[in-house]
A and B are shown apart, each in its own frame.
Chain A
Amino acid sequence: MGITISNISKSYKEVKALQDISFEVKPNELFGLIGPDGAGKTTLFRILTTLLIADKGQASVAGFDVLNNFKDIRKHVGYMPGRFSLYQDLTVEENLQFFATIFGTTIEENYDLIKDIYVQIEPFKKRRAGKLSGGMKQKLALSCALIHKPKVLFLDEPTTGVDPVSRKEFWDMLKRLQQKNITILVSTPYMDEAALCDRIALIQDGQILQIDTPEAIVKQYPKTIYNVSANNMYQLINSLKAYQYQHSVYPFGEFVHYTDVRTDFKINDLKMYLEDANLINIHIEKTQATIEDSFMELAK
């Protein structure tokens, strides 16, 4: 009772938002759709939640076809859109009440499902939703998306614009929801969140680059990556980019991730080259690939 997507395509005039997308989300899986703005994440969410019709292809959610059984899907999914979409001039409590009523249930009936999340905003239940902080809005939106005990939960960029503390709490909540037999499809532009999913699809320009567990994707990275640092980051980047054997040069925090085209690459050769470029305090050492490295290599 997860999600099945087969050969879905969607265009807006000449823009191909989704091009022949296929993948499956297993029941109870926490599946991440990882890609930048404009990759097609929201278009896919809107198709799966029956708010938009695909040009081509089939999809089913919780066993229901997105075209023929769209009304069933609407009863059994929770959807938290990227843009805050609750009623700003209703209070926290009123919003939750409203969504429970719409779905023919009550707050009490499914309270155990949202309890962990809702208790954190309950002290503010008389406050209007528009007056909440970013982290609290997000918790309220999640509570409203869960109040009818959905089988599948769609979260479109739930952590965009949220500080690291709230982001961490949010992911902890998702892990707990997963224990309660809910299938979760979550999208994010932040590659560091990929590691928190069971499996991920990397998506860019409407195409899937790769689908696997985060560990497997990183493992399949085809090259050896070196962390390079020196006294001047700007000169270091320029020198590495000018090196005739470079395969890729990407700044990564205090280091540059460097890969070489040669199979018999020697650290000392590069070190000498950089010394000739007047850089000092040069450090070069092997490092592990991250999801971002994999994404960039696939998108290259």
Chain B
Amino acid sequence: MKKTNVIQAEDLTKMFGDFKAVNGITFEVKKGEIFGFLGANGAGKTTAMKMLIGISIPTSGKANVAGFDVFTQAEDIKKNIGYMSQKFALYDDLTVKENISFFGGIYGLTKARIKEKTKGLIEDLGLQEVSNQLVGSLPLGWKQKISFSVALLHEPKIVFLDEPTGGVDPITRRQFWEMIYKAAHDGTTIFVTTHYMDEAEYCDRVSIMVNGKIEALNTPKKLKEQFQVDNMNDVFLKLARG
């Protein structure tokens, strides 16, 4: 069975003045795939992702995300994707329940649906005890799990995870990745940026950007073979150091 492409980018380019921040990148991401988007600071990752989530118009090239064109249908893209970042996730001064209602409302879910989703999410994550506590008082690992679940509230086709798991303990981090595997198994596409190469190893395929271009794209296993090293960190060092 041939899986459909949920992201398709062709020669996608973004210029800031004379500077090519993203220099003609071409790739596709399939439905239900966990796709790692890597690169050093300043390689162009954030700029590329901004184009894909419909908040920055490309200078040239083509891209289709969740069935919509990044030039002409940016608003439709925003409705059909989820987004989570460690820098901005939930409102610390709202309770767990209030955060869920707020984001459910933003994405246009009905009251009944929000109620049902809230119940399900709190049960799945075992948050019954803390559902009326302010999010700011919870441990980072819990916040990340809630934040990921909130990004999935409106059942988007793709979730963009922007450096999602820094700083949490190894057990919680694995629980988080198990949630990602489950979402992918259920058909949600996962697009994840990270600086941590051990996370890259969890992805089905990864791309590595260097100076605005995608210099490598394959499964972690094949990349390790190609560069004759035994972990993704060394793949990254070989590529980024040239």
Judge if A162 is at the interface, Cβ distance under 8 Å.
yes
Partner of A233, one of B166, B181, B221, B232: B181
**Residues of A contacting B201 with CB < 8 Å?**
252-254
The answer to whether B184 touches A234 (Cβ under 8 A) is yes
Judge if B237 is at the interface, Cβ distance under 8 Å.
yes
**Residues of A contacting B184 with CB < 8 Å?**
234
**Residues of B contacting A38 with CB < 8 Å?**
139-140
Judge if B1 is at the interface, Cβ distance under 8 Å.
no
Taking the closest CB of chain B, its distance from the CB of A33, in whole angstroms, is: 14
The answer to whether B167 touches A160 (Cβ under 8 A) is yes
Query: Which DSSP category, helix, strand, loop or mixed, fits chain A's interface?
Result: mixed
The answer to whether A165 touches B181 (Cβ under 8 A) is no
**Residues of B contacting A292 with CB < 8 Å?**
170
Interface residues of A in 260-300 (CB under 8 A from B): 292, 295-296, 299-300
Docked pose: A233 CA to B169 CA in angstroms: 21
Partner of B237, one of A35, A39, A165, A295: A165
Interface residues of A in 119-150 (CB under 8 A from B): 133-135
Interface residues of B in 193-242 (CB under 8 A from A): 195-198, 201-202, 220-221, 232-233, 236-237, 240-241
A interface list, Cβ under 8 A from B:
35-39, 133-135, 160-166, 168, 189-192, 204, 232-235, 237, 250-254, 292, 295-296, 299-300
The answer to whether B139 touches A253 (Cβ under 8 A) is no
**Residues of A contacting B171 with CB < 8 Å?**
250, 296, 299-300
Docked pose: A16 CA to B185 CA in angstroms: 39
**Residues of A contacting B182 with CB < 8 Å?**
234
9 shortest interchain CB distances as A-B pairs: A253-B201, A36-B169, A234-B185, A37-B167, A234-B181, A163-B40, A37-B140, A189-B167, A292-B170
Give the number of residues in B that approach A within 8 Å (Cβ atoms): 36
The answer to whether A251 touches B202 (Cβ under 8 A) is yes
Q: A250-B170, A254-B221 are in contact. List 19 more A-B contacts (CB 8 A).
A: A35-B169, A36-B168, A36-B169, A37-B139, A37-B140, A39-B169, A161-B163, A161-B195, A164-B233, A164-B237, A165-B237, A165-B240, A234-B181, A250-B171, A251-B174, A251-B181, A252-B201, A254-B202, A300-B171
> Contacts A36-B172, A299-B171 hold; do A135 and B139 have CB atoms under 8 A apart?
no
Give me 17 A-to-B residue pairs in the complex whose CB atoms sit less than 8 angstroms apart, sorted by A's number. A38-B140, A134-B41, A163-B39, A164-B233, A164-B236, A165-B236, A165-B240, A189-B166, A189-B167, A233-B181, A251-B174, A251-B178, A254-B202, A254-B220, A292-B170, A299-B169, A300-B171
